[in-house]
Amino acid sequence: MSQASLPQALAEDVRRGFAARPRSLPPKWFYDEIGSALFDEICELPEYYLTRAERALLERDADEIARAAAADELLEIGSGMARKTGLVLAAIARRTEHVRYVPLDIAPEALAASARSIRALVPSVVVDPIVGDFEHDIPHIALSALPARRLWAFLGSTIGNLDEQAAPALVSTIASRMRPGDTFLLGVDLVKDVARLEAAYDDAAGVTARFNKNVLAVLNRVLDADFDLAAWTHRSHYDVARARIEMFLESQVPQQVHVRKLGLTVDFDHGERILTEISRKFTRETTESTLGQGGMRLVEWYASDVFALALAEVAR
């Protein structure tokens, strides 16, 4: 996907999501420049343990992951700011002279920032960023023809944003692009105490609420919509039966919103919600099941009591 085609993708998601009941927006649209900065703040909050927990695992196990993968290239899907990726690339660089990093993300600003930080941390790495949407563009990635072994990575428990059908489908898409010898590193947030989970998505400082509302600001800016952010409230809760956090924006008044570039008028009732994110939580068993349904098998499991990294390969 080119940068110019991003508004079209957003328009398609808005048309589809607002025509559904309940209405929804994909969480990938959180991450414009402001949203990425807000997410950086979230990662530093005491309630939001995920980034610290994943980083601690990578600090502990990056060299073992690099040894097991024996890769020359790291292709990271939904890379964002690549906050922890440098640990993996540094470990790969300790094993091989020529390392290539291919981050794929929908936010050009995040790709530019991550490229700068990676080059500063691991100067020998060649960085080839791709602006794209991992839900649609993986089949179109132009892969290097070099006989390199790739480590595909999907970190941050971003797989949790995909439901029980979409997650295995994405794994299957990745598996279809993997060559013999390639491996896949998946970050998953684990099932844990409900109070701790809910606090991570509704912090006392209100940063997550601002982050959630920012998606409406994205619609206002890109699609010339007229959402009044003050008329919406951040809501989230943990669905125990489905093992997932659900995050919403709730209308505080009956209101009509115009999305001018789409010629779309949308009426919202008082209390009506827009689902903006799900974040599924996993066990080792449900991780293996997701991988298996997508045509992969678990090779190594690196875990703490709150987070895990799964290294997988195509099941042949």
Best CA proximity match to 22, nearest among 246, 198, 202, 241: 246
Dist. CA 244–CA 253, nearest whole Å:
28
- Comparing 40 with 253, the larger pLDDT belongs to 253
Question: What letter would DSSP give residue 126?
Answer: E
Best CA proximity match to 30, nearest among 196, 198, 207: 207
**DSSP 3-state assignment of 288?**
helix
The answer to whether residues 73 and 99 touch, using CB atoms and an 8 Å cutoff, is yes
Question: What domains can be seen in the chain, in order of their start residue?
Answer: 9-30+195-280 (no CATH), 70-192+286-314 (3.40.50.150)
Q: Indicate whether 5 pLDDT > 90.
A: no
The pLDDT assigned to 4 comes to 47
**What pLDDT digit, counting tens, does each position of 150-209 carry?**
999 999 999 999 999 999 999 999 999 999 999 999 999 999 999 999 999 999 999 999
Q: Indicate whether 2 pLDDT > 60.
A: no
pLDDT confidence tier of residue 1, bands split at 50, 70 and 90 = very low
**Ramachandran angles phi, psi of 299, nearest 5°:** -105, -45
The pLDDT assigned to 53 comes to 97
- Mean pLDDT of all residues in 15-26: 95
**What pLDDT digit, counting tens, does each position of 182-199 carry?**
999 999 999 999 999 999
**What pLDDT digit, counting tens, does each position of 276-293 carry?**
999 999 999 999 999 999
Q: What is the dihedral sign for C-alpha 15, 18, 21, 26?
A: positive
The pLDDT assigned to 82 comes to 67
- Comparing 50 with 316, the larger pLDDT belongs to 50
**What pLDDT digit, counting tens, does each position of 76-131 carry?**
998 766 678 889 999 999 998 889 999 888 878 778 888 888 888 888 898 988 88
Pairing of strands 255-259, 264-268: antiparallel
The pLDDT assigned to 23 comes to 97
Length of the chain (residues): 316
Q: What's this model's pTM, rounded to 2 decimal places?
A: 0.91
Distances (CA, A) of 208 to 29, 32, 187: 15, 15, 21
